[in-house]
Amino acid sequence: ARIVGAAAEGDDQAVEAALRPKDLSEFVGQEKVRQQLDLVLKAARQRGATADHVLLSGAPGLGKTTLSMIIAAEMNAPIRITSGPAIQHAGDLAAILSSLQEGEILFLDEIHRMSRPAEEMLYMAMEDFRVDVIVGKGPGATAIPLELPPFTLVGATTRAGLLPPPLRDRFGFTAHMEFYDPSELQRVIHRSAGLLDVEIDPAGAAEIAGRSRGTPRIANRLLRRVRDYAQVKADGTITREIAEAALRVYEVDSRGLDRLDRAVLEALLKLFGGGPVGLSTLAVAVGEERETVEEVAEPFLVREGLLARTPRGRVATPAAWTHLGLVPPQAAGP
């Protein structure tokens, strides 16, 4: 379990249920998405119709599940939550679709990971509110058409580009969720602190926000760990000093890098002079699998402009040297 990991783990789910904004006005940031969605939902409500299908794309922890629940609340509709990997067979999907109520929201997380046959069934369901259920096998197989009540599909994916165009085209509205800036994360943290009944001052919230990798889920998780520290080691109030001390214990640095991220950067700088160095060599140097370095550590380092992937290998940027408090070789004195 990684304290700065973006996926939900451990006790996240239980706590997140309590921290989820309940309507669009409580949802912090993502102004564009909020404005657009507000229009889509209001218009549908005025027409007394089911809202168009919505595709939400964006990294884990940015609020896709939360938004789908808000859509349901704003439409005053029930919601069913499932995910692409949970739908292995077209039959699994048919069972879900045929049990939906009129106007229900179907949230399909990781929609890009659905099986092919299920995906094809979904095309027809989205467009015509109808599925063909295949009964029997071989030459005797027959397709039984099944009418579905109108519903709203809310699909979520880490990248809209991963979806086959025919699926992407069937969404009436696509929203791209961006990483949050520190001031927005600060608002998320203040809001969560209020709900968790934790005292926090603005500098404390800013300190946590700056280490949260643009991700509300991580902000909420760091807040909980800092709260523990404040409670055990101080009087419970979160200040800048308390946040710094707590996150030092958890090895999350001022930019939100954890031990692994720093180990990768440090090896790149100290052992290989900043690169270029091959991924395999770098992985051996930090004693990790190639995949771990490439998929766990590098994406954030690249996003932060600390590391670049070049055809000749991994290269550290000047910002990486500065961040680790080191001097790049060419700038070093004689």
176 binds ligand ADP (CB under 6 A): no
Contact between 16 and 223 under an 8 Å Cβ cutoff? The reply is no
Residue nearest to ligand ADP (CB): 63
Using alpha carbons, select from 53, 80, 10, 241 the residue that is nearest to residue 155.
53
Please list every residue from 58 through 97 that binds ligand ADP, using CB under 6 A.
60-66
Taking phi first (over 0 means left), then psi (-120 to 50 degrees means alpha), and beta for anything else, what does residue 18 get? alpha
Cβ-based nearer residue to ligand ADP, 60 or 278: 60
309 a known binding residue?
yes
Maximum pairwise Cα distance, the chain: 84
255 a known binding residue?
no
Residue 134's SS3 state is: strand
28 binds ligand ADP (CB under 6 A): yes
Count CB neighbours of 105 within 10 A. Answer: 25
214 binds ligand ADP (CB under 6 A): no
| Residue 7 identity (one-letter amino acid) | A
Cβ-based nearer residue to ligand ADP, 61 or 204: 61
> Is 65 marked active-site?
yes
Distance of CA 231 to the CA centre of its chain: 29
Distance of CA 217 to the CA centre of its chain: 8
> Is 42 marked active-site?
no
Place of tokens 């700038």: 331
57 binds ligand ADP (CB under 6 A): no
Distance of CA 291 to the CA centre of its chain: 20
222 binds ligand ADP (CB under 6 A): no
Residue 147: both structure tokens together: 């009418």
180 a known binding residue?
yes
Strands (E), the chain: 54-57, 79-83, 105-109, 130-135, 142-147, 152-157, 173-176, 307-310, 313-316
Cβ-based nearer residue to ligand ADP, 31 or 127: 31
- Closest contact distance (angstroms) between CB of 152 and ligand ADP is 17
61 a known binding residue?
yes
State which of residues 220, 298, 306, 307 lies at the interface with ligand ADP (CB under 6 A): 220
State which of residues 16, 207, 258, 288 lies at the interface with ligand ADP (CB under 6 A): 16
- The site that binds ligand ADP (CB under 6 A) totals a number of residues, namely 19
Marked catalytic residue, from 34, 52, 158, 187 = 158
What are φ and ψ of residue 96, in 5° steps? -65, -50
290 a known binding residue?
yes
Residue 109's SS3 state is: strand
Cβ-based nearer residue to ligand ADP, 64 or 168: 64
129 a known binding residue?
yes
Marked catalytic residue, from 50, 65, 215, 317 = 65
> Is 32 marked active-site?
no
Residue 235's SS3 state is: coil
> Is 317 marked active-site?
no
State which of residues 2, 20, 255, 259 lies at the interface with ligand ADP (CB under 6 A): 20
Taking phi first (over 0 means left), then psi (-120 to 50 degrees means alpha), and beta for anything else, what does residue 290 get? alpha
Contact between 90 and 98 under an 8 Å Cβ cutoff? The reply is no
Cβ-based nearer residue to ligand ADP, 69 or 293: 69
19 a known binding residue?
yes
> Is 82 marked active-site?
no
213 a known binding residue?
no
Distance CA 46, CA 42 (A): 6
State which of residues 3, 4, 5, 21 lies at the interface with ligand ADP (CB under 6 A): 21
257 binds ligand ADP (CB under 6 A): no
The residues assigned a catalytic role are: 64-65, 109, 158, 217
Q: Which residues belong to the annotated binding site for ATP?
A: 19-20, 61, 64-66, 127-129, 170, 180, 217
Binding region for ligand ADP (CB under 6 A): 16, 19-21, 27-30, 60-66, 188, 216-217, 220
